[in-house]
A and B are shown apart, each in its own frame.
Chain A
Amino acid sequence: MSKVYMVGAAMVPMAKYRNSSYSGLAVPAVLNALKSAGALPADIQSVVCGHAFGGMLTGQRIVKELGIGSIPVLNVDNACSGGASALNAAYKDIESGRHDVVLVIGVDKLTQFGGGTLPLVQEDPEVQRGMVMPALYAMRARRFLHERNATVQDLALVSVKARRHGMNNPYAQFRSEVQVEEVLNSRPICDPLTLLQCCPTGDGAAAVILVSEKGRRKFGKAAVRIAASVLHSGQVTAGFRDMLRPEITSHSARDAYEAAGFGPQDLDVIELHDAFSIAELVYYEALGLCAEGESADYLKSGKTTYGGDVVVNPSGGLLSKGHPVGASGVAQAVEMYWQLTESAGTRQVPKARRGLTHVTGGGIAGLDHGACTVHLFERAL
């Protein structure tokens, strides 16, 4: 069993790149991740590529462009969790001793759909009935407002914080501040969620280089240890589900904390799945950052921004940075690499030592989500 480290990371600035193919999006991220690790294409022993909409052989279409071949290239779809699931697959190969240097890619191009909500699988009975992702989150939000002592202003504050953080991230799709009124007055998407409470459509790619202890000695670069990598699937029920207690996230986090030997109170920085404003509030509780029922107050007290307990989504999160679905799990790991190696520039979380990334995936009938990944990271000295 080897420890697993990230020694290189890069991404493209999230935006709309209608003139770029999947390889056109991902190749610059891969080249820069290699460069930051001091690695050559020939050093790569295996590739895992996460995506949701890339089509056949997405990973091979990317890495062949720089001459990487004759090694395993695995393509992973797990909806929005595709990139993080790729990270999990690479983690397991390094941990088990199978490989010493693995390239992980996350990529997606949502502009190919021309805008609107994410296309879901038409075989699903709820999708046939009209389910779209913002509607699912909107029902969570409605229930949250019903059960908790919370208001739509509380929801909007999530977007306000995300956009404030995103101002300092050159890689973010949105880099301007917004106020509560502007968020609430933006156009309705699925009540009570308005446009500025929904992550934007866009394109992006990210890449990280994972290595074993042996690989780490070879490159000798600044390293971040992956202390836990957990992947869960949803558990079906045809009965009642508490939409404010996403068990897939709380169980994944529980297992990750147990594997890493540290917990939510030890975290300095978190990148969590804020695809919609309500998600962040629900996940504060599911990840154990605050007690059940306290998430709105926890946000308003400033505990999840600079100067608080833990900085949640310093990158701006999906709401500000953008959410090219299969890319996001890897882009979160890239942000974690920068934060834990003190190279995040003006958005650096001071003295960040430990971090968590979290991304869920997919809307299918009977499940909270189809997939959930939680990774824990620690600065390696």
Chain B
Amino acid sequence: MQEVSETTGGAGYGIDAIPIEDMKDEGKKHYQLLDGEVHLRGSKSRSSGSMAFPEREVCLETGARDMETFLFGGEGVLYSFSVVHVSSSRPVPYVLGYVDFPNGLRVLSHVVTDDPASLRCDQFVQLRATDDDWFVVPALSRGE
């Protein structure tokens, strides 16, 4: 890497001119355990308070580069879902769903269930994880 100067312009550049290494941690865990519960790792802007998942460097609302990691979890609500039977992405079948969390974030998740036919929009789901991946499972009601 070249020498870095204090300001960015025609004569030189500061660290704000360097590309964001957003592919460096591909495959990085997007979740962690907190008090035995699975939580997702998101980012929150110090200035605007905007939140996003997964983690990112730039505020989606203002472009500010002041994002901090925060954890969120608990029960979510299954906004919608689909059992995927044909896919160029991975072996089928699998269930994808959008999960709405109480903090206002919507997250695309795998829904792991033995009985996809019983899934319903607006039902509660809970975060779960194996050693290397996270997903949601149906929860019969809040708090279960």
Contacts and interface: CB of A to CB of B under 8 A. Distances in A.
A71 B9 CA distance: 28
A35 to B, nearest CB: 8
Contact of A31 (B22, B61, B65): B65
Contact of A345 (B11, B22, B63): B11
A105 B139 CA distance: 46
Interface stretch (B12-20, B29-37, B80-88, B119-127): B12-20
A66 B22 contact: no
A171 interface: yes
Contact of B19 (A12, A66, A337, A339): A12
B11 A343 contact: yes
Given A10-B8, A23-B22, A171-B13, A65 B58 contact: yes
Contacts of A29: 17
A62 to B, nearest CB: 11
Contacts of B10: 335, 337-339, 341, 343-345
Contacts of A341: 10
B25 to A, nearest CB: 9
B101 to A, nearest CB: 21
Contact of A27 (B2, B23, B58): B58
B21 interface: yes
Interface string A1-42: 000000000111101011111011101110110111000010
A293 interface: no
Contacts of B108: none
A205 interface: yes
Contacts of B59: 66-67
A27 B60 CA distance: 11
B117 to A, nearest CB: 34
Give the contact-size bracket for chain B: 20 to 34
Interface in B56-88: 56-63, 65
B6 interface: no
B63 A17 contact: no
A16 to B, nearest CB: 10
Nearest to A32: B8
A175 B2 contact: yes
A260 to B, nearest CB: 23
A203 interface: yes
Contacts of A338: 9-10
A21 B22 contact: yes
A287 to B, nearest CB: 24
Given A64-B60, A66-B60, A20 B19 contact: yes
Nearest to A9: B10
B84 to A, nearest CB: 20
- The residue among B8, B18, B19, B24 with the most chain A CB atoms within 10 A of its own CB is B19
Contact of A344 (B11, B13, B16, B62): B11
B9 A28 contact: no
Contacts of B19: 12, 17, 20, 24-25, 28, 203, 205
A264 interface: no
A34 B58 CA distance: 14
B3 interface: yes
B63 A34 contact: yes
A366 interface: no
Given A28-B19, A65-B58, A203-B19, A170 B3 contact: yes
A237 interface: no
Contacts of A171: 13
Nearest to A204: B19
Interface of B: 1-3, 5, 8-13, 16-24, 56-63, 65
Given A32-B16, A64-B60, A346-B11, 12 more contacts: A13-B17, A21-B22, A24-B19, A28-B18, A36-B9, A67-B60, A170-B12, A335-B10, A338-B9, A339-B10, A344-B10, A345-B12
Interface of A: 10-13, 15, 17-21, 23-25, 27-29, 31-32, 34-36, 41, 64-67, 170-171, 175, 203, 205, 335, 337-339, 341, 343-346
30 contacts: A11-B17, A12-B19, A15-B1, A18-B23, A20-B20, A20-B21, A20-B23, A21-B23, A24-B20, A24-B23, A25-B19, A27-B20, A27-B57, A27-B58, A28-B17, A28-B19, A31-B16, A31-B63, A34-B63, A65-B56, A65-B58, A66-B59, A67-B60, A170-B5, A170-B11, A203-B19, A337-B10, A343-B10, A344-B10, A345-B11
